[in-house]
Amino acid sequence: MCEVLPIAKRMLTDDGEFYPYGGVMNEDGSITHVSAKEEGTDHPKSSTLIDILNTRFKEAAAAQQIRASAVVFDVLIKPPGGSEKVDAIQVNLDHRSDYSVEVLFPYSISDGKLLYGQPFAQQGDKLIFK
């Protein structure tokens, strides 16, 4: 599912921000990128878009259409050993084999360049495959 991360990197470099999006690994092993849209607004809340993606992926998992899912969004988080919150790309990965992880990629933008800190991971919430 590493195919989903370059989109966030490109949008951060080009626009300084991005809306949540995702991707799935289909039963045949192919990857499909997935966007979410909230009808009636040009500036949806990130939490709404994340909910839309999670719901869509839960439905696909229940129908046994996907092997894995990834939801990608921007967060403020305190890295391990850190004292202050920093920007990070968060990727919530879920796999049908009962694997769930949140991978975080701290970043900053300086002079139009995207700079990365040390990535880290933590246990996911197992939201998609139940």
In the structure, what pLDDT confidence band is assigned to residue 45 with cuts at 50, 70 and 90?
Answer: very high
In the structure, what pLDDT confidence band is assigned to residue 100 with cuts at 50, 70 and 90?
Answer: very high
- For the chain, how many residues are written? 130
> Among candidates 38, 93, 42, which has minimal Cα distance to 71?
93
**8 Å CB contact between 1 and 70:** yes
Q: What percent of the chain has pLDDT over 70?
A: 99
> For the stretch 84-110, what's the b/e string if a residue is b when 16 or more beta carbons lie within 10 angstroms of its beta carbon?
eeebbbbbbbbbeeeebebbbbbbeee
Higher pLDDT, 39 or 89: 89
Query: Would you say residue 63 has pLDDT above 60?
Result: yes
Q: How many CA atoms lie within 13 A of 99 on its CB side?
A: 10
Distance CA 55, CA 123 (A): 20
In the structure, what pLDDT confidence band is assigned to residue 68 with cuts at 50, 70 and 90?
Answer: very high
